[in-house]
Structure 1
Amino acid sequence: MAQANVILDKLRAQLNTSDYRKLHWEGSFADYLNIVLEHPGVTRTAYQRLYDMILHHGIEEVYENKDKIIRYKFFTEFAHKYGDAIYGLDRPLMQLVNVFKSAALGFGTERRVILLHGPVGSAKSTIARLLKRGLEEYSRTDEGQLYSFAWRNPDGSGWTKDPMHGEPLQLVPEEFRPALLAELNAKCRKPYPYEIQIKGDLCPYSRYEFRQRLQKYDGDWLKMLEHEVKIYRLVLSEKDRIGIGTFQPKDEKNQDSTELTGDINYRKIAEYGSDSDPRAFNFDGELNIANRGIVEFIEILKLDVAFLYDLLGASQEHKIKPKKFAQTDIDEVILGHTNEPEYRRLQNNEFMEALRDRTVKIDIPYVTRLSDEIKIYEKDFNPEKVKGKHIAPHTIEVAAMWAVLTRLTPPKHANLTLLQKMKLYNGKTLPGFTEDNVIELKKESPNEGMSGISPRYIQDKISNALVSHPDEDNINPFMVLNELEAGLRHHSLIKSEEQYRHYKELLAVVREEYEDILKNEVQRAIAADEEALARLCANYIDNVKAYTLREKVRNKYTGALEEPDERLMRSIEEKIDIPEGRKDDFRREIMNYIGALAIDGKKFDYRTNERLQKALELKLFEDQKDTIKLSTLVSSVVDKATQEKIDVVKSRLIRNYGYNESSATDVLNYVASIFARGQSKK
C-alpha cells in the first residue's frame, strides 16, 4: 500500500487543475462578448482556425532546385510526436496550406471539397489524421479556444447543449447583428487578421428553443439569453464526436444519407407528438457533429451518388438538408482522399460534373528523394523499436533506393541512367549536370511519383526479414532485397509482366550499387590508417610543390636532389579521374588552397579537401590490399599477421560505419569473395 501511495503522490504532483478549469469554463453571453473583445479569434470560421493552427507551429524556408519552399513545422515537428512526420512532400503540402489560406481569407476555396489524390500509401490518410489531431490540440490552447452554448432545461434540472455546438454569436437576431459587429470590430483589443463576422443561423433544435423561450420573456431576447443560455468552452474531439467527423463508405447497398445529416429519433416522437419536432431528431450525422471543425471522407469517391449530392450543398452553400427540416447551416472543412482508379472514374462520369467543379484536387505523390524515403522507414525500424536485432548499415537505404527507382520515369537524356537521375534528385552532383538540369528533368516528368512501389510494401518486407531469420542477430541488405524480390510475383498492384520485369531489373541495379558501396567502405576502412594517409599526403604535397615551383625534391633517405615523382602524383590523381591534360590545373589548385590557408594562419589538412582525401584513400588501399590479402578470407586458413590486419579493418567498420561484429564479418567475407573471383572494379 505504501508503494502505491508513493506512485499516486508523484502523479498528484503533476496534476494541474487550473488547466481543467480553463477548459471547462462556463459563463453568460455577456461574459462571452468580453472574451470576443479580448480574443477575437474565438469567432473564426473552421478554415481560419485550421490555417492558423498550422501557422501556430511555425514555418521554415528551404530552397529546393532554386525555388524557395515553405516547410510547415506542423507536418514535421508536431507530427513527429505521434510518429506521423511527413517527409519529402513539401511542395504538395505548401499547395494544400495555400488552399486553406485562400479559404480562410474568403477567396472561394472555402466553398470547395478538398480532395487529396494519389497512389496507395502516399500519406493522404496521414495528412488528414494530423489535421484532425492538430485541431483537437489547438482547441485546448489559449490561441485556439472556441465556445458554444447550452439551453437551460425547462424543469431546471440542468442544461442541454446545442447539438451542432454552434457559434454563440448566432444567438443574436438577424436585425441586431450589423450593430453588434460594428461595435465588436471597432473595440477589439488585439490585432486580428480577419473581420469578426456572424455566419449562418442556429440549427433547427436551437431555433425552436429560441422561439419558445422568447415568448416567455415577451420578445426581450437579451433577457432571455441572460437567464436561459449558458456559454461554455468547446474542446474539439474526434472520440467524443465534437467538431471532428470521419466517414468511411460501407456496402453501397446499405449506404444511408442519414449517416451524414442525422435521423429521426422514433422513441421521442411519442413524447413530442411529431416527427418534424426538432427535439425528436438526432443531429448526429458526420456533417452535423463536424460543425466548427473538420470532416474527413475516407475513399470519398466510393460514396453512393446520394451522398455526393449532399456534399454539393455542404461545400458550395455550407448547408445540409436533414430529413423533415429546412436547410441547416454548417461551418466545416470538408476533406476527402482517393486513389487514382476512383478519380479516373469520376473524370469519366459525365453525371458528376457538378462535383468535379466543386473539387480542389491536391496531388499527393510518392517521395522521389532518397534521403526522405529513408526517413520514412527509420521511423519504424530503428534501434529503439527493433530491439535484439541489429540492422546492418545500408539495409534501409537499399530498400528505399529500389522504392524510389520504381517511381521515376526513365530520363530522356542519353548519358543519364535511372540510378544517376535518382542521385541528382537526392542532391548529388554529377559531371556535366547542374541544378538547372535537375529542374528540366522534373519538368519532363510532371506525374513522377504517382505510380511505383508503395512504402507499405517496403515496410512489410523489412518486417518479414526481421522475423524470418530468428537465428540471426542482424539483418542485412541482401536479406531485405531477397524478401522484396520474393514478394514481387504476388504483388497485387503489379499489372503486367513487363512491369514485373522492370521492377526485377531495378533490384539488380540496386544490388550492383550496394556492392559498390560495400567495396568503397571496405577500401576506406583498409585505408583509414591516419598516419599512413598523412605520410602519403605529405609526400604528394612535397612533390606537387616542387613541380609547380619547378624545383627538385630531396630524397629523405639519400639526401640527393631528385626530380618530382611524376609516377606517384599521377597514381593519386588518376584515382579521382584527373586527366593528363588537367593535372597542372589540379596541382595549382591544391597549392593555391594551401597558400590561402597559410595567409589566414591555418594549417593544411587533407581531410578538408574531399576530392584529395578520396584520392589518397584509394591510393593507400591499392598499396595495402595485397598486404592484407582480402581474398584469403574465403579460404579456411588465414595466417596470424593477416588476421590481425583484418581485425583492425573490422574494428574500423564497427567504429566508423555502424556495423556490429557479425555484420562486419559478413561484409568482409562478401567483399573478399568478390576479390577472390577477380570481380573488383578498378
Structure 2
Amino acid sequence: MEWIEKANEDIRPQNQVLSFENYMEYFSKNTLKECRPTFSYLLDMINHFGRNENDGFNLFLKEEPDCPAVYGQFKPQESLYENLINFFEEGINNKFILLVGPNGSSKSSLVKKLMKGAELYSETKEGSLYSFSWVFPNDNYLKGVMGLSTQSKSENIESYATLDDKSISAILPSELKDHPLLLIPLNYRQKLLDTKLIDHPKILESVQKSYLYRGDLSKRNRMIYDALLKNYKGDHKEVLKHIKVERFTISRRYSTGAVTIEPQIHVDAKMQQITMDKRLQSLPPSLQSLNLFSMQGEVVLANRGILEYSDLLKRPLDAFKYLLMTMETGTINLSGILTELDIFFIGTSNEIHLAGFKQHPDYNSFKGRFNFIRVPYLLNYKEEAKIYLNQIKGLRLKTFFEPYALRVLCLFAVMTRLRACQSKNYSDKNLSAIASNLNPIEKALLLTEQPKLPNLDIESQQILNNGLDQIQDEFRYENLYEGKFGLSPRDLKKIIYKLAAKHKNVTFMDVLENLEKMIQEKNEFDFLNMTPQGDYHNPIRFISLLREYALNRFDRELRDSLGLIDDRSYEEHIKKYITHINSMIKGEKVHNKITDKFEDYNEYFIKEFETSINLTEQPKKFRSYLISKLGAFALDNPGKNFTYGEVFPDVIHKLQESFRNEQKKYIQNVSKNLVFYESEMDKNSDQSLPSSLSEKDKEQISHIFSNLIQNFGHSHKGATTTLKFIIKERY
C-alpha cells in the first residue's frame, strides 16, 4: 500500500525526538523561533498566511472542510492583530479578548479560524513547537537501581531520550507543555537569552517581560528536577539525560493548545494527587516519596495555545473570577500553587448578556482586564453574499439561483441593519445634506461599491465619496451601532433552504415574495418592531426599493440583449464629444481626419450630446470635470490603452438611456410575441402544427434569450419568468 510510505514520510518531521543537548543545538540555530510566547507565535502565524490585495488577512479567507472562511469582518480581524502586537510590546497576554456582537455575527468563527491557523502553522517547519517528558530507564538497562541508595552514574550514556519501550520503566509528560528552555536555571537562562538576542533588541525587550525570561517550571516538573538534582549530587547534566524533547502540534479536536470552554458550569482547572498512581511504582525511589500532583482541565490543556470561552457571560461570574488575577499576573492559583500560563485568552458574548454584565458591581474590576472587540453583522452586501455561496453550490443539483436573487436577499439583510444618517453628526453641511437624504438601498450600495447615484450631480457625488469614512463610522461608538440589529446570517440560511425547497429556479421575485411573508412574523424578529424613520426600519419600503432596483438591473440587461446598439458607437460618440469640448476649453481647432484640415469645434454637436444624456448641471462644470477625470486616469495608468467607456461608465449609461424610447417600442413588440414563442417551444412534440410566428420574430426573441443566458447567467426558465414580470410592470 503506497499510502503507508507516504504517510510515514509526512509524519516523520512531527514525530521528532531530541535529547536536551540536541535541542540546545537546535535552539542555537533557531533562537528567534524558539523564543516565542503565544502572542508572538500567533502574530507570526497570521503573518505566515499573509495578506491579500485588499489588505485583509488570508488566514480568515482559507476554506477548510471543518472551518469555513470568515468574510467581511475586516475591522475585528485588524483589532485582533493589533491586540497581539500590544501583547508583544507588553511581553504578556495581559488582556482577555471578548468578541461582542449579535447572535450569528461570526464571533466563534473568527476564533475557529485562529485555532485552525495555529493547527496548520504548527505542522510547518516555521511553526514547530517543542515540550518535554521525563524518561526513566528500567533496572535491566542500568544494571542497578537509580534511587537514593545508589551512588552509580551512567557516565557512558548521553541521554535516555531515544530509548525503546523495553528499556523504559516510566515516562512522565509535562502536562502544561512546559517550554524546554525552562529547564535551564533562571540566572543562566537569562544570560543565555541576553546573549542570543543581543542583535534583536526589540525582541529581547519583549522576551525579558515574558515567562520565558522570568518564569519557572510547573510544580511537578520542578519537584522532579530538584529531587533528581539532589540524587545526582548537583550534577545538572545527569538530570537532563532524563529529558526527552518532543515536537507537538496544536489540535482543536484533541484539545492540544486549542481548547473551547462551553458555557455550562464546571471547573476549568484542578489538581489531583497521583501518589497512588501505578506509574509511580516504576519511578526511582528518589521520586516515589514525592507528593506528585496531576493537573487537569481546559486551562491546562490550552497552555501554549488558545483558550476560548464560548458565551462567557452565560456562566455565573464566580466561575471565571480567577481571570482577574490570571490576566494581571499570567498565573493561576491551583490549590495554593501558583502555576504560570502562556495562553491567549479569548471569549465570545452577545450584546444582551454584556448589557446585563455591565450592571454587575464587579464589572469595573473586569473592565480593566478585558478588551472588547465588536463583531457586528456585515454592512457590505457582496461580502454577505460570499457567506452563502457554498450553501447555494450544495443546492445546485435541485435548485438554480438566478442572477439578483441572492443579491436582493443580501441587500435586504444589510438594509435591516442600517440607521438613517443624522445631520447633527456631520460638520460639513454639504455632506450632511447629502447623507441625510440617502435612502436605505442607496446607503447599502454606497457602503459596498460607491455607485454613481442618479439624483446627484458630479460635485455632490465627489463630496459623498470623500465622506464615506464618516458615514461608515457615524454610529460606530454608539450603543445602537449599525450591525447590532437586523436579519442574521443564520436566518438567511434558513430562507435559502426554504426557497430551494419551493422553487427549482429562484428569481428575485421569489425572494421578495418570501420576504413579504416573513416581515409579518413580528414575534420572530426584533428588527421588525423598530420604529420606522422614513424609509429606515421600514421593511415594506425595503421590498419596494429592492423591486425597483432589481427591475432596473434586469431592464439594463434586457436592453443590452436587444442588439440594437453596438457598444463601439458609444465609444466613438464619447470620444468625439471629449475631443470637441477639449478644443472648446483650450480655444483650439479640431483636426478632421477625413479632410486632414483643422476646423472649429462643433458647438451644435456638443449641445446635442449633452441634451441626449439629459444633463441637469452646469455644462461648463461638467465639461471641466470630464477633462480632469481623463487626465487623472492617464496619470494613474501611464501607457495603458483604455476606452472612454472604461473612464466614463456613467456617461455610457446615460447614452444608453437616451435610446430608451426606441428600445421600448422594440420590447413592446417582443412582449406581444412572447406568448406565441412559448407556444412554439411547447410544440416540439408536434411539428405538424402551423407556426404563429414569423422566422424573423422567432429569431429576434431567441437572440434575446441567448444573450440573457450567455452574457448574464440566467437560465431559460428564469429569463422567461423575469421577462414576463418586467413586461407586466413596465411595458
TM bucket (normalised to shorter chain) is 0.7 to 0.9
Contact 1:411 1:417 in 2 (8 A): no
Name the counterpart of 2:711: 656
* 1:428 aligned residue (434, 445, 451): 451
Name the counterpart of 2:305: 293
Alpha-carbon offset, residue 517 of structure 1: 1.8
Alpha-carbon offset, residue 222 of structure 1: 2.6
Contact 2:70 2:106 in 1 (8 A): yes
Distance 1:82 1:505 in 2: 39
Go from structure 1 to structure 2 and tell me whether the alpha carbon gap of 1:316 and 1:267 turns closer, same or farther (over 3 Å shift): same
Distance 1:483 1:195 in 2: 58
Q: Aligned AA for 1:92?
A: P
Contact 2:107 2:348 in 1 (8 A): yes
Go from structure 1 to structure 2 and tell me whether the alpha carbon gap of 1:584 and 1:318 turns closer, same or farther (over 3 Å shift): closer
Name the counterpart of 1:249: 263
Distance 1:642 1:80 in 2: 51
* 2:108 aligned residue (97, 105, 125): 125
Matches within 5 A, 1:211-226: 211-226=226-241
Name the counterpart of 1:411: 421
Alpha-carbon offset, residue 113 of structure 1: 0.6
Go from structure 1 to structure 2 and tell me whether the alpha carbon gap of 1:604 and 1:342 turns closer, same or farther (over 3 Å shift): closer
Are 1:52 and 2:44 counterparts?
yes
Query: Which blocks of at least 5 consecutive residues in structure 1 are unaligned?
Result: 1-7, 63-69, 552-562, 677-682
Go from structure 1 to structure 2 and tell me whether the alpha carbon gap of 1:543 and 1:575 turns closer, same or farther (over 3 Å shift): closer
Q: Aligned AA for 1:22?
A: P
Secondary structure of the 1:144 match is: coil
Contact 1:576 1:611 in 2 (8 A): no
Q: Aligned AA for 2:12?
A: R
Are 1:165 and 2:177 counterparts?
yes
Go from structure 1 to structure 2 and tell me whether the alpha carbon gap of 1:625 and 1:95 turns closer, same or farther (over 3 Å shift): same
Alpha-carbon offset, residue 454 of structure 1: 1.0
| RMSD, aligned CA | 3.9
Distance 1:282 1:118 in 2: 38
Name the counterpart of 1:4: none
* 1:577 aligned residue (609, 614, 623): 614
Matches within 5 A, 1:166-565: 166-185=178-197, 195=207, 197-226=212-241, 228-250=242-264, 255-257=265-267, 260-264=268-272, 268=276, 281-322=293-334, 324-382=335-393, 386-412=396-422, 413-426=435-448, 427-430=450-453, 431=456, 432-433=460-461, 434=463, 435-446=465-476, 447-469=481-503, 472=504, 474-488=505-519, 489=521, 492-494=524-526, 497-498=529-530, 502-526=538-562, 528-529=563-564, 531=566, 534=568
* 1:136 aligned residue (110, 116, 119): 119
Go from structure 1 to structure 2 and tell me whether the alpha carbon gap of 1:516 and 1:278 turns closer, same or farther (over 3 Å shift): farther
Alpha-carbon offset, residue 80 of structure 1: 6.6
Contact 2:130 2:247 in 1 (8 A): yes
Go from structure 1 to structure 2 and tell me whether the alpha carbon gap of 1:137 and 1:588 turns closer, same or farther (over 3 Å shift): closer
Contact 1:148 1:165 in 2 (8 A): yes
Contact 2:324 2:366 in 1 (8 A): yes
Go from structure 1 to structure 2 and tell me whether the alpha carbon gap of 1:398 and 1:199 turns closer, same or farther (over 3 Å shift): farther
List per-residue Cα deviations over 1:512-556 (Å, max 9, x = no partner): 222222222222222x3455x5568768988998998999xxxxx
Contact 2:97 2:373 in 1 (8 A): yes
Alpha-carbon offset, residue 350 of structure 1: 1.2
Q: Aligned AA for 1:144?
A: G
Secondary structure of the 2:130 match is: strand
Q: Aligned AA for 2:42?
A: L
Secondary structure of the 1:519 match is: helix
Query: Which blocks of at least 5 consecutive residues in structure 2 are unaligned?
Result: 139-167, 282-287, 423-434, 590-600, 678-691
List per-residue Cα deviations over 1:13-57 (Å, max 9, x = no partner): 7x1644422211112111111111111212311111111111111
More deviation, 607-616/480-489: 607-616
List per-residue Cα deviations over 1:365-403 (Å, max 9, x = no partner): 121122222222224323x66234321001111111011
Go from structure 1 to structure 2 and tell me whether the alpha carbon gap of 1:281 and 1:238 turns closer, same or farther (over 3 Å shift): farther
Go from structure 1 to structure 2 and tell me whether the alpha carbon gap of 1:215 and 1:420 turns closer, same or farther (over 3 Å shift): same
Go from structure 1 to structure 2 and tell me whether the alpha carbon gap of 1:602 and 1:93 turns closer, same or farther (over 3 Å shift): closer
Secondary structure of the 2:348 match is: strand
Go from structure 1 to structure 2 and tell me whether the alpha carbon gap of 1:456 and 1:604 turns closer, same or farther (over 3 Å shift): closer
Query: TM-score by structure 1 length?
Result: 0.82
Alpha-carbon offset, residue 169 of structure 1: 1.6
**Between the two proteins, what is the percent identity of the paired residues?**
23
Matches within 5 A, 1:25-40: 25-40=16-31
Are 1:94 and 2:86 counterparts?
no
Secondary structure of the 2:557 match is: helix
Alpha-carbon offset, residue 279 of structure 1: 6.7
Go from structure 1 to structure 2 and tell me whether the alpha carbon gap of 1:83 and 1:132 turns closer, same or farther (over 3 Å shift): closer
Distance 1:46 1:587 in 2: 57
Contact 2:673 2:693 in 1 (8 A): no
Secondary structure of the 1:159 match is: strand
List per-residue Cα deviations over 1:128-150 (Å, max 9, x = no partner): 00111111111111111121110
Contact 1:37 1:187 in 2 (8 A): no
Distance 2:356 2:629 in 1: 65
Q: Aligned AA for 2:131?
A: S
List per-residue Cα deviations over 1:339-372 (Å, max 9, x = no partner): 1011111111112322222101111112112222
Distance 2:232 2:661 in 1: 98
